[in-house]
A and B are shown apart, each in its own frame.
Chain A
Amino acid sequence: MPDRYRIPPELFIVAFGFILLAVCLVVGIAFRNEALPVRAETLPVDMAQLPNNAACLSCHMVEDQIKEFPNGDVISVVIAPEMYGLSAHATLSCQVCHTNISGYPHPENLAQSSREYTLQFQNTCNQCHPSQASELMDSVHTRLMAEGNLDAPICADCHNPHQQPKIAKDEQGRLSPAEHAQSAMVCGQCHSTIYDEYARSVHGSGVLEDKNPDVPSCIDCHGVHNVSGPSGGAAFRLSSPKICADCHTNEQIMSKYGLSTQVLQTYVADFHGTTVTLFEKLDPDQQINMPVCYDCHGVHDIRRSDDPEKGLQVKQNLLAACQKCHPDATENFPDAWLSHYIPDRNRYPLVYWVNEFYKYFIPTVLGGMGLFVVSDIYRRWVLDRRRKNAKSVEGAEDQMSATEETSKDIETEEQAEQADTQFSDEKPQDEENS
């Protein structure tokens, strides 16, 4: 068997390489937390043992009662029965939460301020709402509280326990439009500057004015009980495009407003998006300076893309966005970013035509090469072999190689001469040229 029919050694190397590559393929599995219902799961006390609320209300419904704290804080201790009666807790005895009060006079309360008084109830809700409480444990709010920031909210700061009605949701668990808007206002109690920005944004006006449930309220991006601080880690930043994409790739929602759903795909295809996505997958806690959606579009103050003041469809605004990170960028530079468009004949035609060119150029070149290679294989593995077999049948006793050599020589003598004369015309020319 001649050398050339033996399996070349690097076939083994290539095969080994492929096996190695296959072994290298590790796919991570993302775990998901199941959403938990906001509903009291257990009632830790026997209501029959507790006094009727009428007893408490007979005093506390009287208007105009206050409690003063040593630091001068004053709080109202009035419970409006009609308000309490509409709350989710209407059927609960006051003593379920106010466990230390069983009669009058009430035991002395050592709270020095109204805040201290509220914080006495920090663990009160856990007894009936353990899953929300455990979600809360992961939140930036609980972390801040643990760090000693007493301004950080506890349950009662967002859900007034005497007034909090049952939260209205539809079958899919989505908040009713009014609740949805209300949720933003709750956050606004402590984050008022952000709330003011948000209220003027395209999202905020949609939620607060139009009561449109398609538009995100604070909790849609930040989460509710397990809210994480965007300023806290790089992880929020790196994963933030997913938050935006959640709605902005949803054809059902976006089609209502004529918005493109290609925004994520085009972002990820670009240098910035590729980098961010890869960091998010491989090194999620790394702080990097590549822009995510909100670095260009704004966060709480996000406007329509055609907003004259901030919209990125306005070229000057886009340039300003580029210059935040590329201070030397000039007028042409923003066009290096395809503005979430897929290039076509009219938009970014240069990119489109280069793409088109290669769409035909690559198959043409490779096809030509492939055609020749296939023809060569045909010559070697079909024609040459067929001829060799024919010869070996004819002169079985002759040595194979010798037969081949000689027969070839005889067979092709004429042709070879022809070829020689043909080429000899050009040979000198070639040499002269060189």
Chain B
Amino acid sequence: MSENQKSYTRFSLAQRIEHIVLIASFTTLAVTGLVQKFAQSSISISVIAALGGIEMTRIIHRTASIVFLLQAIYHLVAIGYKLYVQRKEASMLPGFKDLQDAFQHFLYNLGLRKERPKMDRYNFVEKAEYWAMVWGLVLMALTGFMMWNPIATARVLPGQAIPAAKVAHGAEAILAVLAIFIWHFYHVHLRTFNKSMFTGKLTRHEMEEEHALELEKIEKGLLPPPPSPEELRRRKRIYYPVAAVLSLVLLFFVYRFVTFEETAITTISPVSARADSVFVPQTPTPLPTRPPTATPAPTQEGQLFEGPLSWNNAIGQIIAQRCGSCHGAMGGLALTTYQSALNGGRSGAAIVAGDVEQSLLVTVVRDGIHPGKFEPQELELIVRWIEEGAPE
């Protein structure tokens, strides 16, 4: 029993911190990325709104991608340290045994084998996940770069490589997220809650089930002994400068990744309204030009003016011609017959025999506020007619 409660150190503190950073950046990338891929769904819109809009969502996505890349660089340097300085076994490298283990484990699951295969420090489940992650990182970084720097990309590659990169980036994201749900969550959370990534330890029982071969090695003392302190120091002296240069080069790549080009058009102001005025009236149609006024018929006047002036001789005709179109009734004034003319209208008498100044027919027209007018000669005749007593 006490043997069963014994625990085995699996992950160092640095590895556990690395994993937490990975959870944070991966989750952020997944959330901010998937809402962009499915931008029209109402869930995405709510998430984007909660994050502060699409521009902010993109900034968060890109920031998380930088964290992801920086972590990848750290991971590379850390692996280098373990392999070169500490001379640890490259236990994550996949081999034929992993295929065999997977197959045998499958048979065991179906009840076709009695015992599950014995597996080493990293079993096929973990290797599959790790290498899928590495593959994903490389592909996402490449396609991400293309979308981040489309103009530079189009200088080298055909333009359609950019939408193709977008398709791959999105599809790979779906694959990665679903793989995490199906593979990772099942194996370390649902099947059993494997706390080693947080506590750093595995129990003996868990070791037996998942890493029987490693357990055997530990118990039989088959693991290579740690190198001597002198040896360690010597290797560190070589490794540190190499790692420093390598990480600087990689950091420079990340820097270029971010700053390669400014596709966000900071220099061009938003396309807005036209610069010229929208109000440009057409040249107005000119008023119908006044047709030349018909010359009044002086001959007629000459002909008509024979004998004494009277309504029936000339005056009635002039009034019918000049006033008739309106003053059939307008203003209560009907200038149609001698009698109705003498009756006057609403404003008073139009014709007062013998008194020109009391006759509105003259004053209204003469003083210029009336739309219709007499010719001066006509007015003269009318004045004379009234002065003579306005006979019929």
Contact = CB atoms under 8 A, between A and B. Distances in A.
- Is the A/B pair a real complex? yes
Interface of A: 3-4, 6, 8-10, 21, 24-27, 55, 58-59, 62-66, 74-76, 103-105, 151, 188-195, 229-231, 234, 237, 268, 270-271, 274-275, 277-279, 281-283, 287-289, 291, 295, 324-330, 332-338, 343, 348, 350-351, 354-355, 358, 361-362, 365-366, 369-370, 372-373, 375-376, 378-380, 383, 411-412, 415-416, 419-420, 423, 426-427, 430-431, 433-434
B114 A289 contact: no
The 6 A-B residue pairs with the shortest CB-CB distance, nearest first, are A335-B159, A231-B273, A358-B171, A375-B109, A434-B90, A379-B109
B45 A278 contact: yes
A355 B172 CA distance: 11
Chain B's interface size range is 35 or more
A333 B263 CA distance: 12
B151 A330 contact: yes
A75 B273 CA distance: 35
B115 A426 contact: no
B40 A268 contact: yes
Interface stretch (B5-13, B234-242, B323-331, B376-384): B323-331
A24 B47 contact: yes
Given A105-B370, A289-B269, A358-B175, 18 more contacts: A26-B46, A59-B371, A103-B346, A192-B282, A229-B273, A324-B268, A329-B154, A330-B151, A333-B150, A336-B153, A337-B163, A351-B164, A351-B167, A383-B111, A419-B117, A423-B213, A433-B93, A434-B89
B271 interface: yes
15 contacts: A59-B325, A231-B273, A237-B271, A282-B48, A295-B271, A324-B271, A328-B151, A335-B158, A336-B162, A350-B161, A358-B172, A358-B175, A419-B115, A423-B97, A433-B93
A64 B289 CA distance: 8
B99 to A, nearest CB: 12
B369 A420 contact: no
A324 B161 CA distance: 22
B49 interface: yes
B112 to A, nearest CB: 10
A237 B273 CA distance: 9
Contacts of B166: 271
Nearest to A429: B95
B261 interface: yes
Interface of B: 36, 39-40, 42-43, 45-50, 53-55, 89-91, 93, 95-97, 102, 105-106, 108-111, 113-115, 117-118, 120, 147, 150-151, 153-155, 157-164, 166-168, 171-172, 174-175, 178-179, 182-183, 186, 189-193, 213, 261, 263, 265, 268-274, 276, 278-282, 287-288, 290-291, 325-326, 328-331, 346, 369-372
Contacts, number: 252
A25 B46 contact: yes
Interface of A is mostly: helix
A316 B140 CA distance: 32
Contacts of B329: 55, 58
A9 B279 CA distance: 69
A343 to B, nearest CB: 8
Nearest to B224: A431
B372 to A, nearest CB: 8
Contact of A9 (B175, B193, B278): B193
Contacts of B48: 278, 282
A88 to B, nearest CB: 22
A433 B193 CA distance: 33
B195 to A, nearest CB: 10
Given A59-B330, A190-B281, A366-B178, A348 B155 contact: no
A365 B158 CA distance: 29
Nearest to B170: A358
A66 B287 contact: yes
A433 B90 contact: yes
A362 B42 contact: no
A3 to B, nearest CB: 7
Contacts of A411: 114
Contacts of A103: 331, 346
Contacts of A10: 189, 193
A282 B120 contact: no
Given A289-B265, A289-B270, A434-B93, A423 B118 contact: yes
A64 B272 contact: no
Given A282-B53, A289-B269, A332 B175 contact: no
B160 A325 contact: no
A427 B273 CA distance: 74
